[in-house]
């Protein structure tokens, strides 16, 4: 095998045969071998991607309540969804390392706060037990003094009993006051640590939910859309409410990139997301599916209302073109709207909306089509 590769490399170095020169017999064979090797490596890579994807999905299923784990798996899932190259691998490794570092810091502080809280509670219990012991002894002493008082025959004995009661009462009062002060201080510490625990838990949740957002537009990414879809379809099924879905694709986006550069293309995507956020209702969930494709989940909305909202977005986008380097770049999009059917999976909903979208493209662009 090594000899064959060596011969092929020498042939490449020598260049193609000149007119009238015989073709080296090993060239065609060696090229075919290398092509088979490349094809096999490609199959192995795709197989590994699918295997890792299944592993990530299974880990998420096994630990549905561990949001921190989902945060670590998301960069890997996003990487596995498309073709791989060294730049993507490096970026994914950096993103994963950043998520792990943030989560590790939050989890470490959270664990410390919980341990400290347990120690304070243990101290509280000990102190309460001490107060109980002190009052128990006081009751015993009172019983003794009562017996002495019943047997007293002179004022000297009565005076000693009264003095003893006053002394014991003072000691108990001091002990109770000390315990009260300690309990109040412990209560303040408990409240402070409870607040710290809540803040750290929120931080940990925030770090995990960051992976549900598209880093460029800050709209939901595919993972965020999947989670939102599960929640909204459950709500729609529970209350027998309608749920509309719209998918849009920027028109002539390649022309924007070719004419103004990729930075302008990114600005166009951000501009669209900002106009969508300003135009749509707060309950309308906006997601970027990838490239120049976006989607919107309309809660408690029928298909005609979704089309009307999308057309209103088109008018607003026409009124607010993209301003880039002292130029005004008009941005339009085509869209497909569809009504969710009970039990329908997100993939099927996207397929139907995508078909309507490309119907709008074929009909002349910058329009909205309804899926049957």
Q: Kindly report each contact of residues 304-309 with a partner whose C-beta sits within 8 Å and lies 24 or more positions away, as own/partner.
A: 305/244, 306/244, 306/245, 306/246, 306/337, 306/339, 307/337, 307/368, 307/370, 309/246, 309/279, 309/280, 309/281, 309/284
Pairwise CA distance, residues 244 & 337, whole Å: 7
**Cα–chain center distance at 130:** 48
Tokens of 100: 């792990």
The closest of 80, 72, 110, 97 to 208, measured between CA atoms, is 72
Tokens of 248: 């849009």
C-beta atoms surrounding 351 within 10 Å:
13
The closest of 184, 176, 149, 175 to 163, measured between CA atoms, is 149
Break the chain down into helix, strand, coil percent, rounded to 5.
70, 10, 20
Alpha-helical (H) ranges within the chain are 2-14, 26-62, 67-80, 86-151, 155-209, 222-239, 253-260, 262-279, 303-319, 346-362
Q: Name the residues annotated as catalytic.
A: 292
Pairwise CA distance, residues 151 & 158, whole Å: 10
Element (H, E) at 13: helix 2-14
Q: Are 295 and 228 in contact (CB under 8 A)?
A: no
Phi-psi region of 364 (alpha: psi -120 to 50; beta: other; left: phi over 0): left
């Amino acid at each position: 095998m090594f000899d064959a590769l060596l011969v092929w490399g020498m042939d490449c170095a020598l260049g193609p045969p000149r007119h009238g020169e015989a073709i080296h017999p090993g060239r065609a064979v060696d090229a075919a071998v290398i092509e088979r090797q490349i094809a096999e490596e490609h199959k192995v890579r795709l197989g590994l991607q699918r295997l890792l994807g299944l592993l990530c999905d299974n880990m998420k299923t096994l630990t549905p309540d561990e949001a921190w784990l989902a945060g670590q798996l998301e960069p890997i899932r996003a990487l596995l969804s498309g073709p791989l190259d060294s730049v993507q691998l490096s970026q994914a490794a950096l993103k994963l390392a950043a998520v792990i570092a943030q989560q590790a810091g939050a989890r470490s502080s959270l664990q410390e706060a919980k341990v400290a809280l347990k120690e304070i509670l243990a101290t509280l219990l000990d102190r309460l037990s001490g107060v109980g012991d002190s009052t128990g002894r006081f009751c015993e002493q009172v019983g003794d003094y009562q017996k002495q008082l019943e047997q007293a025959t002179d004022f000297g004995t009565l005076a000693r009993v009264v003095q003893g009661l006053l002394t014991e009462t003072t000691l108990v009062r001091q002990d109770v006051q000390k315990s009260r002060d300690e309990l109040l201080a412990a209560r303040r510490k408990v409240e402070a640590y409870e607040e710290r625990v809540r803040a750290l838990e929120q931080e940990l949740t925030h770090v995990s939910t960051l992976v549900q957002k598209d880093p460029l537009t800050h709209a939901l990414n595919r993972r965020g859309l999947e989670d939102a879809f599960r929640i909204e379809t459950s709500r729609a099924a529970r209350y027998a409410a309608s749920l509309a879905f719209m998918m849009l694709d920027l028109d002539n986006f390649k022309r924007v990139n070719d004419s103004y550069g990729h930075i302008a293309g990114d600005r166009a995507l951000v501009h669209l997301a900002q106009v969508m956020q300003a135009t749509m209702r707060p309950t309308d969930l906006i997601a970027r599916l990838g490239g120049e494709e976006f989607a919107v989940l309309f809660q408690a909305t029928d298909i005609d209302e979704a089309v009307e909202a999308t057309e209103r977005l088109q008018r607003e986008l026409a009124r607010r073109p993209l301003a880039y380097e002292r130029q005004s770049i008009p941005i339009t999009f085509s869209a497909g709207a569809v009504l969710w059917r009970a039990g329908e999976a997100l993939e099927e909903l996207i397929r139907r909306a995508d078909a309507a979208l490309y119907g709008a493209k074929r009909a002349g662009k910058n329009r909205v089509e309804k899926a049957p």
